Structure 1
Amino acid sequence: MHTVAVLALDGVIPFDLATPIETFGRTRLPDGRPAYRVRVCSATKEVDTGAFTLRAPWGLDALAEADTIMLPGCGDLDVPIAPEVLDALKAAAADGTRIASICVGAFVLAATGLLDGQRATTHWAAAGLLAARHPEIKVDPDVLYVDNGQFLTSAGAAAGLDLCLHLVRRDYGSAVAADAARLSVMPLERDGGQAQFIVHPQPPAPRGSTMEPLLRWMDDNASREITLEDIASQAGMSTRTVNRHFREQIGTTPLQWLHRARIRQAQYLLESTTHSVDRIAVQVGFGSPTAFRDRFKRVTGTNPHAYRRAFQSDPERRTTAS
């Protein structure tokens, strides 16, 4: 039987904490025996989650006895990790213990230095901060989880469940993992390389920016075939000047901004209609369905069909778009 130690620190995110406890705790072998022994550990007897206080039955010494250590995320990323926690994690790693993080639990694992030189992920909203604090880590914000063998990281809370099922599959095979997935009402097919389905917001104009009227015009006309010359004419500038102003005030180029506006419209249509992908490509202003598919995948990290399957609200209205 594998022993899983779930490390709870002050400010731990309750959902992140519950995910490994539930997933590993309910996994059964074909003969009905429990597959894992789960222990909640902490550096202190009581842990303040913000919503409630919990008592951890095991201390840090239990980390040395675990086959796997799970690191849930904590809400405040500015709170330093206690040295004794980092030392215990590094000692366990030196003994070959597998360590995996959920969501922003990657910051705890990163603080040990064990991820240096490796690829890792975390919730997309925190990926930039992780990369800035730990430039020696190759942060990939566009995947559900990363498996480096001994050290694993996952994106948001739901991706933590994907990671737990992946570990079950590694330990006991696909049949046991599929049974665990059914208990969690979760598909087993989502692999680590799948995108996080990020809806990328448009870069905003600074308050009072002279670009605001132009941005409104571009947004209103995004479905038309607008060229850089059209944008420059609307702004009363040369193409070179409008490009420079965009970069200075918005941080991107006019055409890149326009493409994101079109992708945002396409996301809405994929979620709310049964229009074919080719029709949506035309509706949002792409001259070619192939160009639309390429741009959509570049911006969202997935293809239009996968996005529709994941986000269309009414399954009865889904389409096998061409």
Structure 2
Amino acid sequence: MSTLTVAVIATTGFSPFHFSVPCIIFGSSMPEPNLFQVDICAETPGVILSDIGLSINVENGLEKLDTADIIIIPYWNNPNEKPSQALLDKLIVAWERGAEIVGLCLGTYVLAYAGLLDQHRATTHWEFERDFMERFPNIHLDSNSLYTSDERLITSAGTASGIDCCLNIIREHYGAATANRVARRMVVPPYREGGQAQFIERPIPETTRDSKMNELVNYLRRNLDKSHDLDSLAGFACMSRRTLTRHFVKATGSTIGEWLNAERLQRSQELLETTDNSIERVSDLVGFQSPISFRQSFKAKFRVSPSEWRRTFRGPAPIIQEKGED
């Protein structure tokens, strides 16, 4: 079995955490020698400063990209800044000869600037979702996934999902047993599938530019637990159904039904995280017709169940010790 070479690119203002992930996973955490060889390289070799003042001394230039099997850009400091053409050209040539090109977190921007991701799936940190879509409209952004892999173009979402992404690369090359051993050495979950949703904070705007729609939005927020139909809401707003629908979409960017569903789900997240209400009670409080429809809508949106969401953000339920027990 031949050794796979991994080139990790250091860039000015790099994040030490992001940078260390591939170096550790493909380096010191490997359970067997000679599965991977990690080479750190930079466009300009020498001392490179991180975003928190730490620095590294890089000896290799971009010539390492000419022969690497896997090339990783762990981070990109400024999404507004296009990488040099020399770096982009190296990545294009490497991909065309069969190398895997990996962008972790904002490193996805580098692959995008190179044009490699056009018409391919990709992901990046959810906070940059809108910027990324506007900047690169030809890329199919999967904003829910922890990582994606599409024709040797591999991307991951924010921060810790880079660990999941790198473990998956090991799994693809050497199997689950090797990846699991690496995960155990790092004391991290051995497998979180790429499709698991990022825990994205998508606050719904509190107000719109339309004062009448603001009144309606505030009314709906105060009455999420009630059922609403277009006729009654049109009466509340003193508009026809058609006029109300047009104004609401213009003000919020979504239909009333879409807005209500998003608001109910967002409120349910808050209740799951901050109260001990049962799933059934949460479903009632936010206005779903049944706990089943609530669970289905929640899972469809966030790819985890309400119970899993609660465990993630509140931890396991405490064990209550009975009086007299030691």
State the TM-score, normalizing by the size of structure 1.
0.88
1:37 corresponds in structure 2 to 37
Gaps of 5+ in 2: 320-326
Pick one of 6, 9, 13 that aligns with 2:8: 6
- How far apart are 1:234 and its partner, in Å? 3.1
2:322 corresponds in structure 1 to none
Q: Give the SS at the match of 1:287.
A: coil
For residues 44-73 of structure 1, the C-alpha deviation after alignment (integer angstroms, 9 at most, x for no partner) is 123343322433221101122322111122
For residues 74-99 of structure 1, the C-alpha deviation after alignment (integer angstroms, 9 at most, x for no partner) is 13111121111112212222332211
Q: Give the SS at the match of 1:156.
A: coil
Q: Give the SS at the match of 2:301.
A: helix
Pick one of 86, 91, 94 that aligns with 2:93: 91
1:219 corresponds in structure 2 to 221
Distance 1:209 1:21, change over 3 A: farther
1:175 corresponds in structure 2 to 177
Pick one of 109, 112, 117 that aligns with 2:111: 109
- How far apart are 1:202 and its partner, in Å? 0.9
- Write out the 4+ residue segments of structure 1 that deviate beyond 4 Å after TM superposition: none
Q: 1:92 & 1:252 partners in 2: Cα distance? A: 43
For residues 120-139 of structure 1, the C-alpha deviation after alignment (integer angstroms, 9 at most, x for no partner) is 22122223333333333222
The answer to whether the 8 Å contact 1:273/1:317 transfers is no
User: What's the % identity of the aligned pairs?
Assistant: 37
- How far apart are 1:112 and its partner, in Å? 1.9
Pick one of 166, 187, 190 that aligns with 1:185: 187
1:232 corresponds in structure 2 to 234
2:205 corresponds in structure 1 to 203
Does 7-16 or 58-67 show the bigger shift? 7-16
1:65 and 2:67 are equivalent in the alignment: yes
2:47 corresponds in structure 1 to 46
Gaps of 5+ in 1: none
> Match for 1:4: what amino acid?
V
Q: 1:298 & 1:236 partners in 2: Cα distance? A: 34
1:303 and 2:302 are equivalent in the alignment: no
1:316 corresponds in structure 2 to 317
The answer to whether the 8 Å contact 2:299/2:306 transfers is yes
- How far apart are 1:308 and its partner, in Å? 2.7
State the TM-score, normalizing by the size of structure 2.
0.87
User: Equivalences for 1:113-128 in 2 at 5 Å?
Assistant: 113-128=115-130
Q: 1:73 & 1:150 partners in 2: Cα distance? A: 18
Q: Give the SS at the match of 1:37.
A: strand
The answer to whether the 8 Å contact 1:197/1:307 transfers is no
The count of aligned residue pairs is 315
The answer to whether the 8 Å contact 1:16/1:72 transfers is yes
> Match for 1:69: what amino acid?
I
Distance 1:194 1:135, change over 3 A: same
Q: 2:227 & 2:294 partners in 1: Cα distance? A: 13
The answer to whether the 8 Å contact 2:117/2:139 transfers is yes
- How far apart are 1:116 and its partner, in Å? 2.4
Distance 1:274 1:205, change over 3 A: closer
Q: 1:26 & 1:175 partners in 2: Cα distance? A: 17
Does 166-175 or 229-238 show the bigger shift? 229-238
- How far apart are 1:267 and its partner, in Å? 0.8
Q: 2:188 & 2:72 partners in 1: Cα distance? A: 20
1:277 and 2:258 are equivalent in the alignment: no
- How far apart are 1:166 and its partner, in Å? 0.4
